[in-house]
Structure 1
Amino acid sequence: MTSPRFASAWASASGWEDALQGVLASLPRLPQANLGFLYVSDHFAFALDPLLNRLRQHTGVQEWIGATGVGVLGREGAALDAPGLSVMLGAFPLDCFRVFSGRKPLPRDFSAYAALVHGDPLTPDMSELVSDMSHKIRGGSLAGGLASARQQAWHIAEAPLTGGLSGVAFNDRIQMLTGLSQGCLPLPGSWHVTAAQDSLIERIDGRPATEVFREAAGPALGADLRRAVNTLLVGLTDDDQDRRQFAARRIVAIDLRSGKLAINESVSKGQSLLFLKRDEEAARQDLLQMLHDLRDACPRPPAGGIYVSCAGRGGIMFDSDDAEVSMIREVFGDIPLAGFFAAGEIAGSRLFGQTGTLTLFV
């Protein structure tokens, strides 16, 4: 493995030129930088072309990837629903990476081991596209997220793009480690779906799904199912032994007469599930646990990182927009960092929602 080197800067300002000047003024010089990561508030989406041109002129880095977001973040802070820029430069060994997109597919002679990707949230069947992309990567590991915006979302791979996926693939000389925090903790108990149709869970362990849900929620929440639906989630899992390996899914409807629950994903008979609690305390505890697990997995101190947080997190879930950045600094110190608030988060071979993913280069 070869360790790359990084430098980053973040700035929030009402105009894109002022934000860019703030970034350039605080961006450390990085000799041999050859890849740039750019995250742009959707307030500045109209200026993506001049931003890329100015960054190329100032840094000498010609290849860039990134995305727009309804907020951006860096090691200095974060701002959701506010204008800003986040930039990170990377100095990688030659021939260790390839930038790709629908316009410029990965070359057949490049042995991709891992990839950092961004995508258009309006692309149909994005979950399948992410899974398909993971099978093209020898290590099977993706990280990244979907661009977000109040109007048109853009992702970047040398130029602004819409539709599909783009990003950068690395060979096995570059080591990337990704941690996923879903912002929730399992309630006691685990169950199996015994009757289901598409996204409707009809029976759990042979009983009406709503009956099991009410019991799992406990006396207080069980007495107010409307509040319970807004507080609790369903965790789908293939591993009955590891209660942290689950995909959190929202409960979108509940029918007391039929005893059915509807969630935002198809379910099959025999599927294992948990019920999950999501609130600030659970989200903070889960994020810190993920960060500590990731630190323990690092063979050496990380050189830099990319953090992608859901647009429904930040100050909506925590006490401030930069709470997650502060926790990353608490565990990993003042490492170069860039990222954005996304419309969906990517880790491994799956697309998630309401999560935070930290990818470290070690």
Structure 2
Amino acid sequence: MTPFRHTHVSGEDWRQILAQAAAELRGATGNLGFVYVTEPLSPNLDEVLDALRLATKVEHWCGAVAGGICATGVESYERPALAAMVADLPTDAFRVFPPIVSDLKAFDAEQKSWLGNQLPYTALVHADPGNGQTKALIEQLAARTATGFLVGGLSSATAGKETRLIADEPCGGGLSGVLLSDAVAVQTGLSQGCTPIGPQRRITEAQRNVIVQLDGRPALDVFREDIGAELARDLNQVGGLIFAGLPIRGSDTGDYLVRNLIGIDTNKRLLAIAELVEHGQDLMFCRRDLDSAREDMVRMLRHLKGRLKQPPSGGIYVSCLGRGASLFGEDAEELKLIQEHLGEVPLVGFFANGEIFQDRMYGYTGVLTLFTG
């Protein structure tokens, strides 16, 4: 397979960045572009798309503005930077769709005009974290694919700033991206950034996001037991280190959703987490550190590589903004792990405010999608 053309450029002057990116992509063969830019380039999205279209003659582009972006072996944060890739896909095998803000009526009509009664195979999506319906829209869109599978992430723009996505033009406010037919072969993998500690527990009393009892005992008592004596002596240590893991019902791969601990009441012995929970639901506590994240990343990469019949032509990587330099270090270690295991695969992506895999929003994960045929 012919590798997709891609580029990653950073600097101080957005005009020079655009000129270099355009020069590196000029003449690329393809029909769909992916582009991710850091926030300093957000005001210049129109110029970015104009320059890329002029250089490549590719009309259709999708992507997002983010707090950090990545490409093969490199990461960029805060300073002006751009990562772009031109994919050469089978004719009429994809459709870029504009933001879905509240319902899928317009989407359904457009999809039917493209595939008739058939369903898209999967979709790469970008979402606005400020839309309160994002979670429901992800579930509804996934149900409209043949695989029930989406990949992607939520834009990680700075709080208070406008979220900007790209779906043929700058946009925002909802869920947008590109639908892929079954003519586009992809392989996907999910890497968790945490490791479970202690056994699975059963929530036996809860009020919304506040856990009152686990296994019939005060939630904080169970928490102290599971995290170990050292951490239990000083609960101020657990912030950013210990999380709640919610096993996904029906999963045959042990997947779980990681959610922040947002409150501890030592008097009433309660725990609050960043997710609504209910009586009878399972929960386990997880530890987030570099060793566990690297170990799971390597596991995911080896599993993906074992499924490949030939080198992929390109890939999209969406990682949590809490991973990257914050967890793996300043030297793009996370992206270099991919490079080490898969070789010089053309790759672009971004660091997200939440990752999308199948029909769910995750946290502290990495989602890798490879184009394999």
User: Taking structure 2 as the reference length, what is the TM-score of the superposition?
Assistant: 0.91
Partner of 1:294: 304
State which of 175, 188, 194 in structure 2 corresponds to 1:165.
175
Q: Does 1:13 align with 2:4?
A: no
Give, in angstroms, the shift of residue 321 of structure 1. Answer: 5.4
Partner of 2:120: 112
Which amino acid letter does the alignment assign opposite residue 107 of structure 1? Q
Contact 1:238 1:271 in 2 (8 A): no
Which amino acid letter does the alignment assign opposite residue 84 of structure 2? V
The 1:163–1:240 alpha-carbon spacing in structure 2 relative to 1, beyond 3 Å, is closer
Contact 1:209 1:259 in 2 (8 A): yes
State which of 280, 305, 325 in structure 1 corresponds to 2:315.
305
Number of aligned residues:
359
Q: Does 1:214 align with 2:257?
A: no
Once residues 76 and 241 of structure 1 are traced to their aligned partners in structure 2, the CA distance between those partners, rounded to angstroms, is: 32
Structure 2 unaligned residues grouped into runs of 5+ = 101-105
Provide, for residues 28-69 of structure 1, a one-character-per-residue CA deviation record: whole Å limited to 9, x for no partner: 7432x1000010111011111111111111101000001001
Give, in angstroms, the shift of residue 23 of structure 1. Answer: 2.1
The 1:15–1:107 alpha-carbon spacing in structure 2 relative to 1, beyond 3 Å, is same
Contact 2:186 2:370 in 1 (8 A): yes
SS for the counterpart of 1:108 is: helix
Once residues 235 and 187 of structure 1 are traced to their aligned partners in structure 2, the CA distance between those partners, rounded to angstroms, is: 10
Once residues 200 and 320 of structure 1 are traced to their aligned partners in structure 2, the CA distance between those partners, rounded to angstroms, is: 36
Once residues 166 and 75 of structure 1 are traced to their aligned partners in structure 2, the CA distance between those partners, rounded to angstroms, is: 24
Once residues 90 and 134 of structure 1 are traced to their aligned partners in structure 2, the CA distance between those partners, rounded to angstroms, is: 23
SS for the counterpart of 2:70 is: strand
Once residues 350 and 319 of structure 2 are traced to their aligned partners in structure 1, the CA distance between those partners, rounded to angstroms, is: 6
Which amino acid letter does the alignment assign opposite residue 222 of structure 1? A
Give, in angstroms, the shift of residue 232 of structure 1. Answer: 0.6
Give, in angstroms, the shift of residue 230 of structure 1. Answer: 3.5
SS for the counterpart of 2:299 is: helix
Which amino acid letter does the alignment assign opposite residue 112 of structure 2? R
Contact 2:240 2:288 in 1 (8 A): no
| Higher alpha-carbon deviation: 46-55 or 301-310 | 301-310
Once residues 81 and 164 of structure 2 are traced to their aligned partners in structure 1, the CA distance between those partners, rounded to angstroms, is: 15
Give, in angstroms, the shift of residue 326 of structure 1. Answer: 0.3
Q: Does 1:131 align with 2:139?
A: yes
SS for the counterpart of 1:130 is: helix
Partner of 2:198: 188
- Percent identity reads 39
Partner of 2:48: 51
Structure 1 unaligned residues grouped into runs of 5+ = none
CA RMSD of aligned residues (A): 1.9
